[in-house]
Amino acid sequence: MNNFLKVAIFSLLMIGAFTGYSNFGIPQIEPAPPPVEEKLDLGAMTMDQFIALGDKIYHGKGTCTLCHNEMGRAPMLDKIGTVAHERLADPNYKGEATNVEEYLHESFVKPSAYVVPGFGKAGTNDTESPMPDVSAGGIGMSEAEIAAVIAYLQDISGTEVTVAIPTEVPEDTSEEESEGGGRKPYESAEEIIAAFSCGSCHKIAGEEGEMGPDLTHIGALRGKDHLRRSLLDPNVEITEGFMEGMMPDTYGSQLSGKELEMLVEYLAGLK
Amino acid sequence: MQNRNSKTIYGALFIAVFALFLLPSLVPGFDASLAFADEAAVSAAAEAEATTYPPAPKLTAADYPTIPGVNSRVTVWLAAQLHLWFGAFVLAVPIFVFIIEAIGMATRDKRYDNMAYEFIKVSITAYSLTAILGGLLAFSLILFYPDLFRYLSTIFKESMFVYALLFFAESAVLYIYYYGWNWLQGGFKKWVHLTLGLLLNATGAMLMFMANSWTTFMMSPAAVDAAGVFNGDSWAAIHNFLWNPINIHRVIANVAYGGSIVGAYAAFKFLSAQNKDQRAHYDWMGYNANFIAIAALLPLPFAGYYLTAEMYAYSQQMGITLMGGVFAWIFIIQAVLIGALFLSANYYLWCGMGRSEGAHRYNPYMKYLAVVIVGSFLVWFTPHTLVLTNAELKSLGGPYHAILGPLGIMPAKNTAVNLLILFTFLSFMFYRRANKTATVSWAAQGNAVQAALFTAGIINIFILGVYYGYFTNTVYKVAASIPQVLTTLVIIVVSVVIDSFMYKGAKQVAPLHWGRVPARSQYALFLLAVSFTWLMGLMGYVRSGIRQHWHVTNIFRDNSPDAFTPGLGYAANVISVGTIIFMAMVIFVFWLSTVSGRKSTAAGYWKEQGA
Amino acid sequence: MKTYLLPFLGALIVFGIVFLGLDFTMMNLQGLSLLFHS
């Protein structure tokens, strides 16, 4: 019995050590909740808001940044609006697009129509793209969402945004509204700020964080576009005197569209 | 008595053979050369084509039945994981029992035969627990995820039916193999027995491969279109992308795992041994079990690498989420666990040196081995990104430690793990050498060559790690890991060859004192078993979690209330609960194998017999 | 001492060349050179 107890305690201690390390020794990253079909109120959107929606999808549901980043797995898209012309003129281009907007749309749904040299699947000699069809299964972007991302990409390239905001939300037969999600929506900006501990790095809502810029009067210093951009893609513009790569860039997938806008409104109101 | 037993056994043998041959004819998709009834196969195939299959259903939360107080997802999770732990054990034991029995037959050393028999005895109860847990898993799926089960069973109906029937064969062979052990001894009968062992392994493997296909189908579906409509090709659905990688990985991992569980059994029996003979016996058993576990552990990273590479090939997204996205931290925990496995394996070897009279010659070197192995483990374990509070961030001046930060990246880790593997091998080499004195004339030169091999190799490993890791770019950095690991392999292979020549005809210093090990060495075996179990649970979480909110990737969406991918802390808690339940059940299994030998004399209980 | 030192040094050189060759071959097979240049 004595041996049994010793062995049992030893085993429990070890299991405790692994559990403890998993819970406290590593960052607790909560995976994004299953994507919920959002009701898009397209009729009331301005082009800026539509582009912002594209921004959010690009960094969230679209999972674009998983591959389109500096690691070299997929082409960078920051200049795609201008680069697209060269692609269309390339003798290897076999697709059917005639302008940038069509090219982008084709890249989303038929990525293998044109594979940028060097980025094809190994062994296919750049004829097959590893990119999935974003309108299907795993990512399941609707036409409206695709249009929003195209608008976003044209915008960040500094070229003209030619996409028109769809007037109707097309019937999306690929997914029903799912009830599963894992957490209740946040009711107020203050709730979000508390949940994500913004105050641990910023001066905001009574907290005195010093790692990031002081947000107490940020509404007077920055416009909504900047605020939204800072939440979705913080490293695009770093305020003077602060370090790059410090602020998490996952809020785009952790907050719903409504919650994001709520937070932006709140920050814009801090004058 | 003998007659009745043999009749039963022959009867069971007949059923087993009958079941084995019946099965192929039932499955149209199987390789035609196996099928007895070709006509049946052809007509079955034609029938399959005429059937139209439904698309994957679109479910809502209401489609998932619940029982108040029961968390459906955790129930299925635990049932599946427990089933897998036990399944791994009962599939592994026949593999090394077969090998040990064969060694016994070759050396005519009955100790091997006895040990093989003892191993299979331990796994008999585990076998029924595996089946019970499998039943629990099936019931849980039917109760809580009926639509998913219906969808999968529609596609896999033939193989699921065959799977159920195959258990007749598995049970028959296992019971004959076990109960007939003492009967089927000597000459021809021993060969029959060994063949039964082979059959047992074959049936077990087939069962696992079939179940693997259902699980890998959920991850990398095949033979279905985007809406989930099955095209009727059962074989295509079975041998989907990830099927073979999982098959290979699970076969190897099962052996490693089984070895570790048996090692824990031997360790416990050692600690509770009543006399020297028992201690010697269980010490020997523990050593062999540990050897099996570590030997199978070494090729495992390659199997895992192959599995991940195939995952990437199937879906870049899935692969990147696995290693670079939310699941990346899991692999840090995995690293820690593997480091613990290496530490305990080495510690066990060092403790075991005491069995030999000649080990003292290697004592001066042990501390250097310890330093390198512990040091490598610490580097292996050092994270790159630290979990810091706001104040700590400020005082550190950033998220990375100035000195330890560089140790957290892959080149340092690769160097560390190569050293870990190499020095573990060195520990083993010293252990093997400890009890031998070389008699060849060139022993001193041979040692010099060995030393040079290791020196040159270790320098190479360091250069590859440090130069390419810190003074070049990412592409070179990643590419350098290949020659680095090949260096380790070359050292191991060449060293084994040199040693085998050097110790030809070597004199044994003295017979090994089996049983002469400190009690704490047995705790190393417990650490091995518990770590392995927990690690398997962790990897099970990853394998299933990588599907995220899909029942069948990209085809059949999971819309249950528990569809969210759990965070690492939550998963760790579930895994730990599962590990504790499993350990409790395993203790029950071990205890049972000792109970069957016990007898109590109940004086005055039974009526007087006779006259 | 001599029975040990000479074979050691000799083997060291031989294995050094072997490993250098291994590095060279494996880096080349991956389309890279032994010494880094961007």
B449-473 pLDDT, tens digit per residue, is 999 999 999 999 999 999 988 888 7
Pick from B447, B473, B482: CB nearest C26:
B482
The confidence band for B390, taking pLDDT boundaries of 50, 70 and 90, is: low
**Structure token digits, residue B219:** 């991850």
User: Which of C2, C4, C12 is the mutation pick for testing B, counting most B CBs within 10 A?
Assistant: C12
Distance CA B386, CA B210 (A): 43
Domain identity same for A54 and A107: yes
Pick from B453, B460, B476: CB nearest C36:
B476
Q: CB contact, 8 Å: B66 with chain A?
A: no
pLDDT confidence of residue C36: 80
pLDDT confidence of residue B494: 96
User: Which of C22, C32, C33, C35 is the mutation pick for testing B, counting most B CBs within 10 A?
Assistant: C22
Contact present, C and A (at least 3 Cβ pairs less than 8 Å): no
Distance CA B530, CA B324 (A): 28
Is residue A143 situated within a structural domain? yes
Q: CB contact, 8 Å: B536 with chain A?
A: no
Give the residue extent of every domain in chain B: 357-511
The confidence band for B388, taking pLDDT boundaries of 50, 70 and 90, is: low
**Mean pLDDT lowest among A43-47, B2-6, B522-526:** B2-6
C 1-38 → B contacts, CB under 8 A: 3-12, 14-16, 18-20, 22-23, 25-27, 30, 32, 36, 38
B468/C30 Cβ within 8 A: no
| Distances in whole angstroms, Cα of residue A57 to Cα of each of A53, A178, B217, B492 | 6, 18, 29, 51
**Residue B291 CB coordination number (10 Å):** 16
Are residues B517 and B57 in contact, defined by beta-carbon separation less than 8 angstroms?
no
Domain identity same for A142 and A197: no
Closest CA to C11 of B449, B458, B488, B502: B449
Residue A214 has pLDDT above 80, yes or no: yes
- The stretch A236-252 carries a mean pLDDT of 74
pLDDT confidence of residue C13: 96
A138/B572 Cβ within 8 A: no
- The stretch A105-126 carries a mean pLDDT of 82
The confidence band for A137, taking pLDDT boundaries of 50, 70 and 90, is: low
**Mean pLDDT lowest among B98-102, B240-244, B291-295:** B291-295
Domain identity same for A199 and A241: yes
Q: Which percentage of chain B shows pLDDT scores above 90? A: 50
Residue B507 bridge partners (DSSP): B437
Is residue A139 situated within a structural domain? yes
Closest CA to B196 of B210, B179, B209: B179
For residue A17, the chain B residue with the least C-alpha distance is B576
Pick from B453, B471, B479: CB nearest C15:
B453
- Contacts (Cβ under 8 Å, ≥6 apart) of A210: A201, A203, B390, B394
Print the domain residue range for A257.
189-268
Out of A215-224, B176-185, B551-560, the most confident range is B176-185
Q: What is the secondary structure of chain C as a DSSP string? A: -HHHHHHHHHHHHHHHHHHHHHHHHHHHHTT--SS---
Q: What are phi and psi of B557, to 5 degrees?
A: -75, 140
pLDDT confidence of residue A114: 85
Is residue A161 situated within a structural domain? no
- Three-state secondary structure string covering B279-333: HHHHHHHHHHHHHHHHHHHCCHHHHHHHHHHHHHHHCHHHHHHHHCCCCHHHHHH
CATH, residue A116: 1.10.760.10
For residue B453, the chain C residue with the least C-alpha distance is C15
B324/A15 Cβ within 8 A: no
Residue B460 Cα, gap to closest chain C Cα (Å): 7
- The stretch A199-220 carries a mean pLDDT of 78
Chain C residue numbers touching B447 (CB-CB < 8 A): 4
Residue B39 has pLDDT above 90, yes or no: no
Residue B25 has pLDDT above 70, yes or no: no
The confidence band for B246, taking pLDDT boundaries of 50, 70 and 90, is: very high
Q: What is the secondary structure of B105-153 as a DSSP string? A: HHHT-HHHHHHHHHHHHHHHHHHHHHHHHHHHHHHHHHHH-HHHHHHHH
Distance CA B422, CA B427 (A): 9
- The stretch C9-16 carries a mean pLDDT of 95
Residue B316 Cα, gap to closest chain A Cα (Å): 6
Are residues B210 and B163 in contact, defined by beta-carbon separation less than 8 angstroms?
yes
The confidence band for B611, taking pLDDT boundaries of 50, 70 and 90, is: low
Angle at A181 between CA A179 and CA A187, to 5 degrees: 95
pLDDT confidence of residue B212: 96
Closest CA to A192 of A139, A117, A256: A256
**Residue B434 CB coordination number (10 Å):** 22
Helix (H, G, I), strand (E, B) or coil at B517: coil
Are residues A34 and A180 in contact, defined by beta-carbon separation less than 8 angstroms?
yes
Is residue A99 situated within a structural domain? yes
**Structure token digits, residue A12:** 């429990």
B449/C22 Cβ within 8 A: no
Structural domains of chain A, count = 2
Q: CB contact, 8 Å: B316 with chain A?
A: yes
pLDDT confidence of residue A1: 64
The confidence band for A221, taking pLDDT boundaries of 50, 70 and 90, is: confident
Domain identity same for A198 and A140: no
Reported in sequence order, the residue ranges of A48-147 that DSSP labels E, i.e. its strands, are none
A38-94 pLDDT, tens digit per residue, is 666 777 778 888 888 888 888 877 878 877 877 677 888 888 888 888 888 888 787
pLDDT confidence of residue A169: 52
What's the DSSP call for residue A162?
-
Residue B557 bridge partners (DSSP): B550
**Residue B485 CB coordination number (10 Å):** 19
Is residue A63 situated within a structural domain? yes
Closest CA to A177 of A31, A32, A34: A34
Residue B469 Cα, gap to closest chain C Cα (Å): 11
Q: CB contact, 8 Å: B398 with chain A?
A: yes
Q: CB contact, 8 Å: B231 with chain A?
A: no
Pick from C19, C27, C32: CB nearest B457:
C19
- Contacts (Cβ under 8 Å, ≥6 apart) of B142: B149
pLDDT confidence of residue B167: 92
The tally of CA atoms less than 13 A away on the side-chain side of residue B517 is 30
Reported in sequence order, the residue ranges of B439-558 that DSSP labels E, i.e. its strands, are 507-508, 550-552, 556-557
Q: What is the secondary structure of B189-254 as a DSSP string? A: HHHHHHHHHHHHHHHHHHHHHHHHHHHHHHHS--SB-TT--B-S-HHHHHT-TTHHHHHHHHHHHH
Is residue A78 situated within a structural domain? yes
B389/A200 Cβ within 8 A: yes
